[in-house]
A = this chain, B = another copy of it.
Amino acid sequence: MPRVTSKDVAREAGVSQTTVSFVLNGKDEHGLSAETRRRVLETAKRLGYVPSGAGRALRKGRSKVVLCVVPDFPVAEAMEQFKLALGRSLGEAGYTCVYLHHAGTTTPLAELWQHVQPAVVVAFGSLSPDDTQSLHRAEIPLIDGVFTPDGTHLTGLSQEDIGRLQIEHLAARGHRHIGYAALDDPRERPFCRPRLRGATRACSDLGLPAPQVVSMRYSRDSARNAVAEWTQGATPVTAVAAFNDLAALAVLASCRIQHIVVPDDLALIGVDDLPMSSLAVPALTTIRMDLTAAADNLASSVLSTVGAQPPTAPSGPDAADILAIVPRETT
């Protein structure tokens, strides 16, 4: 059963291929009669016509694919929700949103652009200068650094605000000497650094001493050392903001082993609201992100980049709505 082409629709509707194309692509300026328009639409639907991506891409030099490049970063479970939401929004606008997982040395990305000819590339994390340049040469628009501080306006999701929110929560509970659990993993750095910066600024704004930063890994030893640093200094810390829930959970486990009572001896707040966090004993206070809202914001940015939508003012939910404290037992 051969594929239904626009030629078939044209013949069946008794018009030319040109007219079919105009109708289907909403080229109003040609002033098609309402009747012609209706008939074409009806015929296309009746025949189950689906335009050929290859045909269009070949002709226009650009496909209707939005290529999202995901680097090797430790994705939160929540990221899946983000992908679903982004795919839905873009799908409604006629774009197919597709993910490429790229850890450095696969095929050079450069080849890929030409191979796939995406309408736009969305890079989570940051692309290498080489890749950026090759994209530029291919005249493919790039939306870069979605989750970095520079990308805040794209999603409404501010990494800095996350750190700030943690500090504000702890300060509101009366804490003045606060520790920060940073993560010693290069893949996390793009997230960790801005969060820490936000925390540091919040301390400064609130007149608190800067947070006592300890860099740790996901291991018991590492968490133990971190706790020791926080509790055994001259001015021990009474609360810790952790880069994420996993780090917080490591700290929590370590406290238990060392008989440090949470939250009385040490309060604790994470980020992510992992399923595990509500199960921990005591249950972990954390920050939840509404990634669906963030994805919808990103979809708007993407669509305005490809000209499928007028550039919107950042009207969507702003950071205040995207981030929410989930107060539990560790603070």
- A: residues with CB less than 8 A from B are 1, 3, 50-55, 57-58, 61, 63-65, 67, 72, 74-75, 77, 80, 83-84, 87-88, 91, 96-103, 106-107, 110-112, 114-117, 137-138, 218-220, 223, 246, 249-250, 253, 256-257, 275-276, 278-281, 283
Say yes or no: B275 contacts A246, CB within 8 Å: yes
- Further 17 A-B residue pairs, CB within 8 A, beyond A53-B114, A98-B99: A50-B111, A52-B58, A53-B117, A54-B57, A54-B61, A74-B80, A83-B101, A88-B103, A96-B112, A96-B115, A98-B116, A99-B99, A99-B101, A218-B279, A220-B279, A220-B283, A276-B276
Task: Answer whether A51 and B279 are a contact pair too, CB < 8 Å, given A80-B75, A80-B101, A106-B87.
Answer: no
Q: In the complex, which residues of chain B have a beta carbon less than 8 angstroms from the beta carbon of A64?
A: 115
Assembled-state Cα–Cα distance A116/B67 (Å): 13
**When the two chains form the complex, which single residue of B61, B99, B107, B281 contacts A256, counting CB atoms closer than 8 Å?**
B281
Contacts of A80 in B (CB 8 A): 72, 74-75, 101
CB pair B58 A54 closer than 8 Å: yes
Q: Is the pair B50, A54 in contact by a Cβ cutoff of 8 Å? A: no
Set of chain B residues within 8 Å of A100, measured between Cβ atoms: 87, 96-99
B54 A63 Cβ-Cβ under 8 A: yes
- Between A and B, 29 residue pairs with Cβ closer than 8 Å are A3-B114, A51-B114, A52-B117, A53-B57, A54-B54, A54-B57, A55-B58, A57-B57, A64-B115, A65-B116, A74-B77, A87-B100, A87-B101, A87-B102, A88-B103, A88-B106, A91-B107, A96-B115, A98-B100, A99-B99, A99-B101, A218-B278, A220-B279, A220-B283, A223-B279, A246-B275, A246-B276, A249-B276, A253-B280
Query: How near does chain B come to A120, taking the closest CB pair, in angstroms?
Result: 15
Do B91 and A249 touch across chains, with their CB atoms under 8 A apart?
no
| Cross-chain contact B83 with A106 (CB below 8 angstroms) | no
Chain B residues with Cβ under 8 A from A99's Cβ? 98-101
Question: Chain copies in the assembly?
Answer: 2
A282 to B: closest C-beta gap in Å: 10
In the assembled complex, the Cα of A58 lies from the Cα of B57 at a distance in Å of 9
Q: Are A54 and B276 in contact (CB under 8 A)?
A: no
Establish whether residues B84 and A54, one from each chain, have CB atoms under 8 Å apart when the complex forms: no
- Pick the 5 closest A-B CB pairs, nearest first: A54-B57, A54-B58, A50-B114, A99-B99, A83-B101
CB distance from A129 to the nearest CB of B (A): 18
Residue with the highest number of chain B CB atoms closer than 10 Å, among A64, A97, A275: A275
